[in-house]
Amino acid sequence: MMKQLRALALVLLLMLGLPEYTSAQCTLTNATSCVCATAGQTNCDLLPDITISWKGLESYGSYGGPSEYPQNHATNPGRLRVTGSTPNIGNGPLNVRGVNRNGYRFFLCGNELDSIYDVNATNDYVPCPDAKQLILQRVYHKNGNAMSFTERFAGTMTYHPTHGHNHVDDWVTFSLRSEIPGETNALNWPIVGTGAKVGFCLMDYHSCTASIANGHCRTSQEYQGGTALNSTTNYPNYGLGGGSYNCSQVSQGITVGYTDVYWEELDGMWINIPPGTCNGNYWVVMEVDPRNNFIEENENNNWTAVPFTLTQQVPGGGPFASITASGATTTCAGTPLTLTAAFGTSYAWSNGATTRTITPTTSGSYTCTISGNCGTDAATTSVTFLNAATPVGTGAQIPGPGQATLQATGGNVHWYDAASGGGEVGTGNQFTTPLISGTTTYWAENQVVQPGLSGNVGKTNNSGGGGYGTFDQHLVFDSFRPCKLRSVKVYAQSAGNRTFQVLTSAGDLVAQATVNVPNGESRVTFEPGSATGDRLRLKVTTTSINMYRNNQWNRISLHHQQLGQCKDLQRG
């Protein structure tokens, strides 16, 4: 009897020693019993299938769904906090690599690719400011009993050498939207507010069989749809990947039959509800891998949506309508201009349009009546397209070599020696040529100059946490149209000269100016030049910078001015 008990105990120990999640014949090194997505195939890529869970968004753990906060909340002003759960229901693991099979890291510096060989010896090395580390997706391949893999670039990750891990960029985005009846794809519904966590560390947070993740893994990601996949038998290759992916610099991911969860209390897990948004019924929409960086079995189940009713925002019934122009509403004829109404569920413009955005082509007043959760309200804006009158030129004849006097009508006439690409040779209604000895053509251009827009953008103060330092840092801004940087608000811990530089995204100098900065808060006025492009940099190069850097917002406050000219040309 004692022998029988000992034998039974030995059997139990052996069973407990085996991984519960996968057959010993389906591992990352042995494909014998691994199953392809297509029945009967024995030579295939074992791809992941990442979905996003409506069940996790609607209710995860002790959360009763998204948490709404009013606009005046002390720590979450105008936020809708959300939870994202991203199960892998495919036949292969999602394996994200910071290092390739040969030990290389890859960084993107502008348009330059820099490879780092000895990652263990150069763990903290970053080749350039604003470097983006390229992600590698490892795709496993079954060929009979043999398992192999290939590696491919799949987007970028934010590199945190001091934290000992990487964050995958653009993993999940969130939005608050209004439903369009009859449109089944929530990604096509109009957006009210948006949000996105800057980076995710991909890991095996729960098995799909765990009670806390019950119902997260399903055959459909659409709201209240699909069959729950809560059993290991629902996954032919359950556990392929190991079930132990974590926040690593080298290898992250989601195993087959597992999910990663970022719950609403974590930093960045919220949608910004725009001020003035009215209470009412909306939908919270989430999308995983919105850029389609990763290869999957199914790219059509990467979004989900759950209904949510706002109750802590603006009551309906008050004035809410507004119209936003894409540029100056007094501009040159032919300049692209759009008018966008405040959010609603229906729109009625005075020109007969029923879309939220219109493109006016003629001067006049444009009124839009908006209906939605806020009620019904109307707003009006005026548009003026400037036309420069075509100048009428009067030529002259001279009997021989000499000077001629030309005339042209117009309120602001400029004279040129070519129709395009020529140099300006004079201004005014009358122009006396230089000495000429043959027939010569000059061009008169009538101009109307309209001042452009000026304004401040970016964060308005240094609230939100941070500190003074002398470390080498810069602020990033985008300028998609020609503009002039006029001033920037700064906080200095000591007075003195600072040299401000405008740089391109690659770090090339555009212009610089040295300004005396007083102690404390001040607005430094200068004009270091203009630039156009994305991820431009504003940098202080002085040795003792001793200025405040905000931890939450890496932005600057810009004051820019645009100038526009309307022209019409005539030969004189």
pLDDT tens digits, residue range 294-320?
999 999 999 999 999 999 998 888 888
Residue 32 belongs to a domain: no
Residue 4 has pLDDT above 90, yes or no: no
Whether 137 and 258 share a structural domain = yes
DSSP state of 208: T
Q: How many domains does the chain have?
A: 4
DSSP letter for each residue of 70-135: -TT-SSSTTEEE--EEEEB-SSS-EEEESS-TTS-EEEEETTEEEEES-TTTSTT--SSTT-EEEE
pLDDT for residue 451: 65
Query: How many residues are recorded in the chain?
Result: 572
Give 468 or 246, the one with higher predicted confidence: 246
pLDDT digits (tens, 9 = 90+) for 155-186: 888 766 666 677 888 899 999 999 988 899 99
Q: Which two tokens stand for residue 315?
A: 């009551």
Give 565 or 189, the one with higher predicted confidence: 189
Whether 499 and 379 share a structural domain = no
Residue 221 belongs to a domain: yes
Q: What is the mean pLDDT of residues 63-77?
A: 92
Q: What is the mean pLDDT of residues 442-463?
A: 76
Q: What is the mean pLDDT of residues 452-467?
A: 71
Q: Which residue type is seen at 331?
A: T
pLDDT for residue 23: 55
The answer to whether the beta carbons of residues 154 and 293 sit under 8 Å apart is: yes
Residue 245 belongs to a domain: yes
In the chain, the percentage of residues whose pLDDT exceeds 90 is 49
Whether 430 and 528 share a structural domain = no
pLDDT digits (tens, 9 = 90+) for 399-451: 999 999 999 999 899 999 888 767 889 999 999 999 999 999 999 998 887 66
Residue 95 belongs to a domain: yes
Residue 283 has pLDDT above 90, yes or no: yes
Whether 430 and 542 share a structural domain = no
Residue 572 belongs to a domain: no
Whether 435 and 405 share a structural domain = yes
| Cα–Cα distance for residue pair 28/64, rounded to 1 Å | 38
The answer to whether the beta carbons of residues 245 and 202 sit under 8 Å apart is: yes
Whether 296 and 413 share a structural domain = no
Whether 140 and 254 share a structural domain = yes
Residue 124 has pLDDT above 80, yes or no: no
pLDDT digits (tens, 9 = 90+) for 224-276: 999 999 999 999 999 999 999 998 888 999 999 999 999 998 888 999 998 88
Least confident of 58-67, 137-146, 183-192: 58-67
Which CATH number fits the domain that encloses residue 516?
A: 2.60.40
Q: Which two tokens stand for residue 33?
A: 């019993």
pLDDT digits (tens, 9 = 90+) for 12-27: 233 333 344 445 689 9
Tokens 């490892």: give the residue.
Answer: 138
pLDDT for residue 170: 81
Residue 501 belongs to a domain: yes
First to last CA, the chain: 119
Whether 216 and 260 share a structural domain = yes
Domain final residue, candidates 275, 310, 345: 310
pTM of the entire structure? 0.65
* Phi and psi angles of residue 3, each rounded to the nearest 5 degrees, phi first: -65, -40
pLDDT digits (tens, 9 = 90+) for 49-67: 999 999 999 998 777 889 9
Task: Round the average pLDDT of the chain to a whole number and report it.
Answer: 83
pLDDT for residue 129: 66
| Cα–Cα distance for residue pair 213/193, rounded to 1 Å | 28
DSSP-assigned beta bridge partners for residue 367? 380
pLDDT for residue 21: 44
| Cα–Cα distance for residue pair 385/382, rounded to 1 Å | 10
| Cα–Cα distance for residue pair 502/505, rounded to 1 Å | 10
Residue 32 has pLDDT above 70, yes or no: yes
Beta strands 533-540 and 496-503: pairing type?
antiparallel
* Phi and psi angles of residue 2, each rounded to the nearest 5 degrees, phi first: -65, -35
| Cα–Cα distance for residue pair 272/266, rounded to 1 Å | 15
| Cα–Cα distance for residue pair 129/58, rounded to 1 Å | 40
Whether 279 and 415 share a structural domain = no
| Cα–Cα distance for residue pair 183/165, rounded to 1 Å | 40
The answer to whether the beta carbons of residues 201 and 165 sit under 8 Å apart is: yes
Q: What is the mean pLDDT of residues 288-297?
A: 95
Exposure of 97 in the CB half-sphere (CA atoms within 13 A): 20
Residue 562 belongs to a domain: no
Q: What is the mean pLDDT of residues 317-335?
A: 86
pLDDT digits (tens, 9 = 90+) for 527-556: 666 667 767 888 887 666 788 877 655 444
Whether 215 and 268 share a structural domain = yes
Whether 348 and 463 share a structural domain = no
Structural domain boundaries enclosing 232:
43-310
Whether 522 and 410 share a structural domain = no
Cα torsion 530, 419, 448, 328: sign = negative
pLDDT for residue 20: 41
Residue 127 has pLDDT above 80, yes or no: no
Residue 376 belongs to a domain: yes
